A = this chain, B = another copy of it.
């Protein structure tokens, strides 16, 4: 391994996050406007070049913090994007992650050293993005659908518990289809990761709904 071999000199790693939220029932992804070259002025996903002294997720957390002010996001590995020409500056391989945040509990910094704006963009209104970020988001949405079914990724919305109708709305928005209420209840209630409480709460209807909670983990 020769550090200066020109065949693999000037390579780097992008760590990139598709950070999603549900805003008034709509699935949105966090985009930032780039202040610097390349793709100056373009919209892009959060993320950037990994430093040598940090692990992948730590580097991604740093990038997310620098570009949006967001902290403490749970991240799930999504995929790898490594086409040789995906960056115009130098050879970069992208490791992509998925995150989910509650838009009502975070404040996005819209102007940083590296960004001049930030928006939550509905996933069917995504503009042309920097690099291969359009492809990355599309892939992330596919993987997000699996994560919703197989992990507790939606827990972030419900630290105090949730009613089944409100959880179902989020499922339906992310999966892009309507679900049967009775079957949804059966599935959720029989899940090992979810318990019912004695509390009730109004959601959209007139009748109160029972509150359920995600268990730790």
What are 22 A-B pairs with beta-carbon distances under 8 A? A1-B36, A1-B90, A3-B89, A7-B49, A7-B51, A7-B52, A8-B12, A10-B52, A11-B50, A11-B52, A13-B13, A13-B82, A13-B93, A50-B82, A50-B93, A52-B84, A52-B91, A55-B82, A55-B83, A77-B79, A93-B93, A93-B95
Bound-state Cα–Cα, A82 to B56, Å: 6
- The residue on B at minimum CB distance from A37 is B1
A198 in contact (CB, < 8 A): no
A80 in contact (CB, < 8 A): yes
A residues at B contact (CB < 8 Å): 1, 3, 5, 7-13, 36-38, 49-56, 77, 79-80, 82-84, 87, 89-91, 93, 95
Instruction: Give the shortest distance, in Å, between A27 (CB) and chain B (any CB).
Output: 26
Bound-state Cα–Cα, A36 to B91, Å: 25
Contact (Cβ within 8 A) B11 A13: yes
- The residue on B at minimum CB distance from A53 is B84
Instruction: Give the shortest distance, in Å, between A215 (CB) and chain B (any CB).
Output: 25
